[in-house]
Structure 1
């Protein structure tokens, strides 16, 4: 299966979209489309396995944000809301307007911000290893948690992690403070769309007590924990793909039952 790779410029900033869909139907009116947003320092490569599986039944778009994934240096810091707007505008510029936004790590903040700022486009969010725990905000602690996670990610994922980090060091450094300061709990509390949180049971960054509080804050939230570390979507791609597919099916059934047009 070949991906359609496009770079869209929004206000001069490049956003790379990697689109996969059933039978190559990347331009068809398939809804909803699952948009995948990587974490700080990372790229679309952190979603390779789960995107391949989800694209068997859904149109999927994995995103490379400005300054990451080998894209040209952004030259400035972006706030989370700005990244959310860039993602939504880049995807909708390709004629896609019914979105499930799936974020990992810092990408979960962008997913939540996208749903808050674009409720007419984003109908649900999937948060994989959400950050930042409001009780563990210090940058030294976050750095220590990241190093601990690298010790358990395994060779394949660490090759991706370190390869992506080397390419994105300038932007990584710029985005640490916006990521740390984003009020994730308050933002999830303000959401009106369904929220699925997926956590790796060995994740030292998104700890159990934190994700429990996050789900409790959601208007309609669910939590599933799977064996694995922070990048659980790469360690458990089949399970994660099934969860996302089931999440969508439940929403479809509930919308049909309530008489909401799909």
Structure 2
């Protein structure tokens, strides 16, 4: 499969990167392939990191759906904004960047703090988001302190992550730098995910690794129950960075939920809340 094409896009006054994998314009016989059989998928990273820990999931989904991964302004190799961006600012960037690429509606998948960005996108322009997927969402309303979050993240990295997922996250944290990370952390901790999700009209899938200490099963079930049309799914045998360690299973769960032409595989257990 060809490598995704990187686009540098300025939207809402900020610069980010979008990595695009689009379905071929011609079929196997050389004729026009026709439109994709399902909606596009957009993947959004969490605090401090980049598209890199979404690459395996991106590859799974891109086999049969137009797939885009975003490096938000200030993360990965993108320029750092002069001022701290709110969750709403990031959502506005996502919508503007995808509009510039001609992608007017899409299934939106956010991981960790990316779930907050995804919720705000769905609130800003609900008609463009047919389905929303929140992987390892934060911040648990019953554990809303930095110390509790840091302890859970440390436990996850020591006990439930693979060497490759830890390496990706650590090197991206170093690229992000402590100043920008801490500024964004304050934004993340102050965002009332449990309140904002109630206003989302699109169907919502809340997905977690079954061993994730950051996004607990209780918290994820509560979020799914607060959504207008929510479903909760667990992927066995992994922690917070579920999409890197179990990409085929996560892709299958997303495909089944959102009606994407991607074969489901692996072990996932879910219910409709």
Q: With structure 1 as the length reference, what TM-score do the two structures score?
A: 0.91
Structure 2 residue 207 is the aligned partner of structure 1 residue 198: yes
| Aligned length, in residue pairs | 248
Structure 2 residue 59 is the aligned partner of structure 1 residue 35: no
Cα distance in structure 2, aligned partners of 1:234 and 1:245: 17
| 8 Å CA contact 1:15, 1:87 repeated in 2 | no
> What is the aligned partner in structure 1 of residue 174 from structure 2?
166
Which contiguous aligned blocks of 4+ residues in structure 1 show a shift greater than 2 angstroms? 21-25, 28-31
Gaps of 5+ in 1: 251-262
> What is the aligned partner in structure 1 of residue 225 from structure 2?
216
Equivalent position SS for 1:88: helix
Gaps of 5+ in 2: 27-33, 261-273
Change (3 A) 1:48 1:38: same
- Bigger helix fraction: 1
Shift in Å at residue 172 of structure 1?
1.2
| 8 Å CA contact 1:149, 1:205 repeated in 2 | yes
Q: How does 1:52-131 map to 2 (within 5 A)?
A: 52-131=59-138
How big is the alpha-carbon RMSD for the aligned residues of Structure 1 and Structure 2? 1.5
| 8 Å CA contact 2:156, 2:213 repeated in 1 | yes
Instruction: Pick from 204, 221, 243 the counterpart of residue 253 of structure 2.
Output: 243
Shift in Å at residue 186 of structure 1?
1.0
Equivalent position SS for 1:123: coil
> What is the aligned partner in structure 2 of residue 157 from structure 1?
165
| 8 Å CA contact 2:115, 2:138 repeated in 1 | yes
Cα distance in structure 1, aligned partners of 2:25 and 2:111: 25
Cα deviation digits, residues 2-23 of structure 1 (max 9, x gap): 2110010114311100011333
Cα deviation digits, residues 128-175 of structure 1 (max 9, x gap): 000001111101111111111111212101110011000102321111
| 8 Å CA contact 2:51, 2:71 repeated in 1 | yes
Instruction: Pick from 244, 251, 270 the counterpart of residue 234 of structure 1.
Output: 244
Instruction: Pick from 40, 55, 59 the counterpart of residue 48 of structure 1.
Output: 55
